[in-house]
Structure 1
Amino acid sequence: MHQQLESGIRERIRQGLLRSDTVMPSTRALATDLGLSRGVVVEAYQQLVAEGYLVSRTGGYTQVAPAAAGISLPDKVKPTPSGPPRIDFKYSHPDVSQFPRAAWLRSIRKVLNETPHRSFAYLDGRGSEELRSALADYLNRVRGTAAQPQDMLICNGFAQGSRLLLQVLAAAGFRRLAVEDPSDNELREVAAAAGLESVGVPVLDSGLDVEALERSGADVVLVTAAHQFPTGAVTSAETRAALVAWAAKRDALIIEDDYDAEYRYDREPIGAMQGLAPERVVYAGTASKTLAPGLRLGWLILPTRLVEPMSIAKVVDDRGSPVLDQLTFADFVARGEFDRHLRRMRPRYRRLRDALVGRLAERLPDLQPIGVSAGLHVMAWLPADLSEEAVTTAALDRGLGIYGLKPYWVGKPGAEGLVFGYGGLTEPAVVEGIDLLADTIASLRR
């Protein structure tokens, strides 16, 4: 019996199920639980202590020995995971080290000290009224929207908001989603899960090709009008008007993903499309690029007919986003801290972009960046003698994370290029990363 007990404990320690410093049950308690005499448990513990699997501590308790935890059996060799790139140009990584902790803490304290108890009860599906009001005021002032608090919904980032929206639209009879080609591929997977067909529409220098959209048969379209991802194009006034006319003609819907419009470095950003046609456009915003993606704070401005079904879908999905985070962000926005944070981050990100573009011009002049001076990424087409796969693979061998366009094409892959995300890097890292890329490409060309 004691050998069986020893074997069971030893195996669990080797497998990592009993971790380092885990306190074992007392001999008396374990004997009672297993229906054994205490002497059997004592003998098993003593043997495992002698072997180094357990250690006896002062006070009469026994723990898993640090040196023993996680030991693998000889026939179970664990693969050694490769670490992340030393310099990583992965997109969607803002500089979270600049999160305004002191200002956020002031808002948390105010919320905890002054918020009525009833505010911590269940909310309706739209979210906190305080946050919806604060965001409506901010977006109407800064982004030119026509938002009313009662038409807004707070969600856990764009991921949840878009998923719920596509589910609601599919239930309402929408069948085909048009997306920019190239564009972020995540929403296409969400659309497929909701039962919607996705179709790609080419992106021109002036934004989405509306003539191709009309031929696509789509009844809902997703656009990144202020700063197209990944090309960096800005949708022109003529294209915006044509999109709204298309939506009115087909009784269709436009989803406007305004993911990083606050970061325009050469001029004021163009206002949101939602202000042109509030009943034809769903506006989506998020704090992921402006504050931190870990906050999971997003918002939608909805046409009136979608408010109730979206509110019901949100309640069914998770009963509502955390109210303390919503109230804290509401105070943060209302006191002007959000504006101050953005004013502080714009020159920081602009310096990073300028360093990247400048170093590309010096070391890799045939990689010409395209798009406007905005956002947290730069895209460049690759020369004909280079392939994405060869460049990205060779760069990774040098500890450099660089990413191609292939995942972003909707249909047949088009021209090859690279997307440089720089938000989470420092200026020296940006310069060193471009130098590594230049050395990589020079080696490939040789």
Structure 2
Amino acid sequence: MATNWTTYRELLLPTAPGRRRGVETELRRAVRDGRLAPGTRLPSSRDLADQLGVARGTVTAAYEQLVGEGYLVAKRGSGTTVTAACTWPDSFPAEPPPTPRWRYDLRPGLPALNAFPREEWSQAQKSSLLDLPVDDLGYPDPAGYAPLRRELADYLGRVRAVAAGPSQVVVTNGAAEGLSLLGRTLRDAGHRTVAVEEPSHFGAAGMLASHGLEVLRVPVDDNGIQVDRLSTLDCRAVLVTAAHQFPLGVVLHPTRRHALLEWARGVDGLVIEDDYDAEHRYDRPATGAMQALDPTRVVHQGSTSKVLAPALRLGWLVLPSTLRDSVVERKRLDDLGTGTLPQAAFAHLLSSGGYDRHLRRTRHLYRTRRDALLSALAETLPAWHPIGVAAGLHVVVRLPPHTDDRSVQERLSHQGINALALSNYTTAPTFPALVLGYAALTPDRLRAAVRLMADTLTTP
């Protein structure tokens, strides 16, 4: 490569003439993109300074910095050259395409994001930060911020009848991390299998499988998971959604609750209770958590994702004492703990009553939206029958016999409607149905979505 002054002036064109950063940045960029090839000998600092119209010290400092970073090599008597070890790819992979924006997004599990209590959360962040001791700005306790664990123990005992003290609560980055921690802890303890409900959330089964556990599926009927089937399987752990089965919406019958705990005691096993949306029940108070019936055999899991917003990534586990230390150590090795600042804000929201107030508002909001969806379905698509209890953020709508629910999902997707088939959540044949989330859409938009669904499916 030619190295006369004119060529280097055209080559580099520093963005900040007279300043070291401009020369340094342009030299680095020229090496990275191949304009300065490996082995190229650079001008002396005096020559390059004269060419670029900068002080010699500016070029000397830039050379020294880039030598230290490994882009250049300087040898006495040989000048400064571009290191042969510096290679840069011709291009980088393109960004993946953005998630499609649906005209009507009826995914289950999505709360009303525009109902997020921005002002209360902002005030909670400000107040908690002002009150936060300086020492708490260091690395967090991997078990979670102590004031939040106290508030969660109180809240879960008051609202979900959970029997736990703060020491049993571990704060996680959402329910997903909690399940991941449990999967690896169980694997380390010798578990090779775990049972899940059939149907169930495909994400939970996939996460457990990703940690080396074989997933065994147990059917669900109108009374919840068929506990008697567990005795035929080689497993000692089961994941259940007892208060509001996902996706079918049934409640685990009291008799089966006791049978499930008897099974766990008999095999020295564990029940993982995913309490994902139990606070949202509209006809009466939700059934209390299973954990209170046997805190030594049940892990209680929850998060803010269905009440506030998934973006917060705040969840929790209430653990038996036999698992607590192992899970906390696993959490420490993973990420040193969940961020203290969002935990502190959430603790303030709980202690100030803001969380309870938000729940009261959204229960009314979601009930209105659920009623609008059911009314529109009854009027426009009377052959579709909703099933499940009056709770949660979604409803399962049973389609006429012999309907291919995946085909229905596909046809609706072409019209911009995101409505998932029940068969996505099961590996076994089941009745055709759609799993429709209603919390994120207003009543008017829900009615419009149903009209478009009817028009789409009745058009040849």
TM-score range, shorter chain: 0.7 to 0.9
Distance change in 2, residues 1:385/1:166 (3 Å): closer
In 2, Cα distance between the equivalents of 1:380 and 1:336?
35
TM-fit CA distance, 1:412? 2.9
CA deviation after TM superposition for structure 1 residue 133, in Å: 0.5
Q: CA 1:120/1:39 → structure 2, altered by over 3 Å: closer, same or farther?
A: closer
Describe the shift of the 1:128–1:365 C-alpha distance in structure 2 as closer, same or farther (beyond 3 A). same
- Equivalent in the alignment of 2:370: 353
Q: What is the 5 A alignment of 1:53-202?
A: 83-202=100-219
Q: Is the 8 A contact 1:124 1:311 kept in 2?
A: no
Q: How much does 1:328 deviate?
A: 1.1
Equivalent position of 1:425 in the other structure = 441
- Whole-angstrom CA distance in 2 between matches of 1:180 and 1:90: 20
Give, as a single letter, the amino acid of the residue that structure 1 aligns with 2:146: E
CA displacement at 1:105 relative to structure 2: 2.2
Amino acid of the structure 2 residue aligned with 1:229: F
Which residue of 1 is the match for residue 246 of structure 2? Answer: 229
SS state of the match for residue 246, structure 2?
Answer: coil
Q: Determine if the alignment matches structure 1 residue 25 to structure 2 residue 41.
A: no
Q: How many angstroms apart in 1 are the aligned matches of 2:334 and 2:369? A: 39
Q: CA deviation at 1:395?
A: 1.2
- Whether the 8 Å CA contact 1:219–1:252 is kept in 2: the answer is yes
Q: Which amino acid aligns with 2:122?
A: L
SS in 2 for 1:378: strand
Tell me the amino acid that sits aligned with residue 119 of structure 2.
A
**Matches of 1:169 and 1:291 in 2, distance apart?**
30
Indicate the residue corresponding to 2:353 in structure 1.
336
How far apart, in 1, do the equivalents of 2:17 and 2:166 lie? 62
Question: Could you say what secondary structure the match of 1:324 adopts?
Answer: helix
Structure 1 residue 384 displacement after superposition: 2.6
* Cα drift, residue 40 of structure 1: 9.0
Using structure 2 for the length normalisation, give the TM-score: 0.81
Q: Does residue 303 of structure 2 align to residue 313 of structure 1?
A: no
- In 2, the alpha carbon distance for the partners of 1:103 and 1:255 equals 32
Conservation of the 8 A alpha-carbon contact between 2:406 and 2:423: no
What is the CA distance between 1:4 and its match in structure 2?
A: 9.6
Superposed CA deviations along residues 181-211 of structure 1, whole A, max 9, x for unmatched, are 0000112222222221101100011110011
Q: Contact 2:412–2:456 (CA<8 Å) still a contact in 1?
A: yes
Cα distance between partner residues in 2 of 1:364 and 1:371: 18
Distance 1:245 1:41, change over 3 A: same
* In structure 1, distance between residues paired with 2:14 and 2:412: 48
Question: Aligned equivalents of 2:412 and 2:14: distance in 1?
Answer: 48
Match of 1:383 among 367, 386, 400: 400
AA aligned to 1:402 is A
- Residues 229 and 4 (structure 1 numbering): CA distance in 2 closer, same or farther, change over 3 Å? farther
How far apart are the structure 2 equivalents of 1:248 and 1:370?
33
Q: How does 1:206-355 map to 2 (within 5 A)?
A: 206-355=223-372
Aligned partner of 1:442 in structure 2 is 458
Relative to structure 1, the CA distance from residue 296 to residue 80 in structure 2 (aligned partners, 3 Å threshold; closer, same or farther) is closer
Which consecutive unaligned segments of at least 5 residues does structure 1 have?
Answer: 10-22, 43-76
- Which amino acid is 2:279 matched to? E
Structure 2 counterpart of 1:247, one-letter code: A
Shift of 1:88: 1.1
CA gap of 1:248–1:399, structure 2 versus 1, over 3 A, is: same
Tell me, in whole angstroms, the C-alpha distance in 2 between the residues paired with 1:174 and 1:358.
Answer: 47
CA 1:83–1:309: 2 relative to 1, 3 Å:
closer
SS at match of 1:352: helix
Asked if 1 retains the 8 angstrom alpha-carbon contact of 2:401 and 2:431, the reply is no
Counterpart Cα distance in 1 of 2:403 and 2:267: 43
Structure 1 counterpart of 2:258, which letter?
A
Q: TM-score, normalised on structure 1?
A: 0.83
Compute the displacement of 1:30 (Å): 4.8
Greater Cα offset, 320-329 or 387-396:
387-396
CA-to-partner distance for each residue in 1:229-278, whole Å, 9 max, x for gaps?
10000111111111111111111100000000000001110000001000
- Number of corresponding residues: 397
Q: Deviations over 1:300-356 (max 9, x none)?
A: 000001111011001100000010111111111011111111001101000110011
Contact 1:165 1:310 in 2 (8 A): yes
Measured at CA, do residues 157 and 27 of structure 1 come closer, stay the same or move farther in structure 2, by a change above 3 Å?
same
- 1-structure distance, mates of 2:159, 2:396: 26
The runs of 5 or more residues in structure 2 that have no matched partner are 31-41, 54-93
Q: % of aligned pairs identical?
A: 41
Structure 2 contact 299–317 (Cα < 8 Å) conserved: yes
Q: Tell whether 2:354 aligns with 1:364.
A: no
Q: What's 2:72 paired with?
A: none
Q: What's the counterpart of residue 47 of structure 1?
A: none
Instruction: Give a deviation string over 1:10-40, Cα, whole Å, max 9, x none.
Output: xxxxxxxxxxxxx972467559836476899
Equivalent position amino acid for 1:130 in 2: P
Q: Compared with structure 1, are the counterparts of its residues 367 and 26 closer, same or farther at alpha carbon in structure 2 (3 Å cutoff)?
A: same
Instruction: Specify whether residues 26 and 267 from structure 1 end up closer, same or farther in structure 2 by C-alpha distance, changes over 3 A only.
Output: same
Deviation at 1:99, TM superposition (A): 1.3
* Cα distance between partner residues in 1 of 2:126 and 2:134: 15
RMSD of Structure 2 on Structure 1 (CA): 2.7
| Preserved CA contact (<8 Å) 2:116 2:309 | yes
Which of 427, 430, 438 is matched with 1:414 structurally? 430
Residues in 1 aligned to 2:138 and 2:49: alpha-carbon distance in whole angstroms:
51
Residues 391 and 440 of structure 1 are in contact (CA less than 8 Å); yes or no, is this contact kept in structure 2?
A: no
The whole-number CA distance in structure 2 between the counterparts of 1:5 and 1:258 is 65
Tell which structure's C-alpha radius of gyration is larger. 2
Q: Which letter does structure 2 place at the counterpart of 1:305?
A: T
Q: CA deviation at 1:121?
A: 2.4
Tell whether the 8 Å contact from 1:86 to 1:399 is kept in structure 2 after alignment.
yes
- Return closer, same or farther for 1:403/1:24 CA change in 2, 3 Å cut-off: farther
Q: Alpha-carbon deviation of 1:416?
A: 2.2
Within 1, Cα distance between the matches of 2:401 and 2:393? 26
Whole-Å Cα distance in 2 between the matches of residues 78 and 144 of structure 1? Answer: 46
Distance change >3 Å, CA 376–CA 40, structure 1 → 2: farther
Task: Give 1:92 shift.
Answer: 2.0
